[in-house]
Chains A and B, each alone.
Chain A
Amino acid sequence: MNIDTGVRNLAVLVAIGMLAGLAAIFFWVPTDDFQGVAQRLFYIHVPSAWVAYLAFAVVLVGSIAHLKTGSRRWDLLADSSAEVGVVFTGITLVTGMMWGRPVWGAYWQWEPRLTSTFVLFVVYLGYVVFRRMGDPGRTGRIAAVIGIVGFVNVPLVHFSVRWWRGLHPSGVVNPASEANLPWQMLVTMLFMLGVFTLLYALFLTLRVRLGRLEDRLLLLEGR
């Protein structure tokens, strides 16, 4: 089973991009005046969060398409994307906590964005567990329902937590909104967003491939 050249080229591209990005993060970008070195985590944190949301949006699309068409292809896409999404949500949460401790003085705050990310993490973890524990005949369809409910719920969670906390500003410093952002920071951030998107594409392709092989194995074993 040789991996086709497209996937291999993508992997090489991601590896080069990741190394270049890391070099930029550690040696090229200026240190933030207020947050210090911890701010460099943003170049990992923000792209991970972006990939997580992208991945769950793909789960939503795959789930709806699977319910509409009944095709295993969409089902596999949603399943694969959910797994990748959970991993990147985990990275988002952990890097966020590592940043929060020195800058906020606390690992965690029950702030709307954090809470909705956490809820996403739990819901899609449930999704992934269900996938492994389900009755094979209907797992795909039921998981699709869970995927849809989970995604639709996110804005409501965000909104309710914001109200619960009484609308006070959360104290998150958003580097992208600062007017005098050094151009190196912006370039690095955009570059890392690109690299992480490619990384997502790579993981997704590999996972879908693996799923197809598993399907074939099940077929061959006559189950």
Chain B
Amino acid sequence: MRTAFAIAAKDLRAEARSKEVAPAMLLFALALVFLFTFALPPGSGRAPVPLPRAGSVGAREIASVFLWSSLLFAAIVGFGRSAALEREGSRLDALVLAPVDPALVFAGKAIANFLYLTFIAILVFFFFVVFIGVAPGAILGFLPIALMTNIGLAVIGTLFGTATQYSRAKELLLPLLIFPSVLPPLLAAIRLTSETLVHGDPFTETGWFILIAIYDIVFATIGAVTFEFVIRE
């Protein structure tokens, strides 16, 4: 596992110098948040969002959809860029040649992607505090959701991000493959986040956490086992 962390640290160091992935994700997410706020009732940026009437969909519930949509789109941009950088600089080839278990290379890449995502998730959450009037305290409920969901997103993103590098239509294929594949954790995250924003506590619905956990375990395993076949010459 130390190897995996070393690879992740290497990626983060490269990112800290070149700043090719995270700023792109952040700008993209910010643009989306800005766009989405137009769909919310006027004034919801200034005043606390009123609680929804019975039967209606409240601004806070929609906010959770927007939050995760922005994150997912930004994630896809990030996965594509981080995998493309690896490929372009032949950095991946060097890793393939290194006497390292491919599962650990996969783990390292996934950890780096996970950290980018989590960093973006926290910043996007504060965009929502500023622009949409989400209560800052809700971060306590949001953080565990984001941490768990981002594992699954990073795993799928690393696997498919790398896989689509070997294709002529990668800009089309990456979202086409990722959107349907991450549906389960995404639904879970949206539901849990809207619980947090409306009731202030996501932990009433543990079933969704279990769903995310199962998803994370299943696909982390599949990713670790199959990554070798994606990168091998």
Contacts and interface: CB of A to CB of B under 8 A. Distances in A.
Interface of A: 67, 115, 119, 122-123, 125-126, 129-130, 133-135, 137-139, 141-142, 144-146, 148-150, 152-153, 156-157, 159-161, 163-164
Contacts of A146: 160, 163, 177
A137 B187 contact: no
Given A130-B164, A130-B167, A157-B184, A122 B226 contact: no
B197 to A, nearest CB: 17
Contact of B176 (A67, A125, A139, A152): A125
B215 A156 contact: yes
B181 A142 contact: no
Given A141-B229, A141-B232, A122 B169 contact: no
Contacts of B169: 129, 133
A163 B219 contact: no
B184 A153 contact: yes
21 contacts: A67-B226, A122-B176, A122-B179, A123-B177, A126-B176, A126-B180, A130-B163, A130-B167, A135-B167, A138-B232, A138-B233, A142-B163, A144-B226, A144-B229, A149-B219, A149-B222, A160-B183, A160-B184, A160-B188, A161-B183, A164-B191
B159 A145 contact: yes
B218 interface: yes
Interface string B166-189: 111100110011011101100110
Contacts of A156: 184, 211, 214-215, 218
Contacts of B214: 156
A56 to B, nearest CB: 13
A126 B208 contact: no
Nearest to A124: B180
Contacts of B183: 115, 119, 153, 157, 160-161
Contact of A163 (B163, B172, B208, B232): B208
Contacts, number: 99
A118 to B, nearest CB: 8
A161 B188 CA distance: 9
A63 to B, nearest CB: 9
A115 B187 CA distance: 13
B207 interface: yes
Query: Interface centre among A139, A141, A144, A145, by most B CB within 10 Å?
Result: A145
Given A145-B229, A153-B183, A156-B184, 15 more contacts: A119-B183, A130-B173, A133-B169, A133-B173, A141-B232, A144-B226, A145-B159, A145-B163, A149-B219, A150-B181, A152-B218, A157-B180, A160-B187, A160-B188, A161-B187
B135 interface: no
Q: In the A-B complex, list the 4 residue pairs whose CB atoms are closest, starting with the nearest.
A: A160-B184, A135-B166, A141-B229, A156-B184
B156 A119 contact: no
A145 B215 CA distance: 16
A147 B181 CA distance: 11
B230 interface: yes
Contacts of A144: 226, 229
A122 B182 CA distance: 13
Contacts of A163: 187, 191, 207-208, 211
A148 B89 CA distance: 29
A125 B179 CA distance: 13
A164 B187 contact: yes
Contact of A67 (B172, B187, B229): B229
A122 B166 CA distance: 20
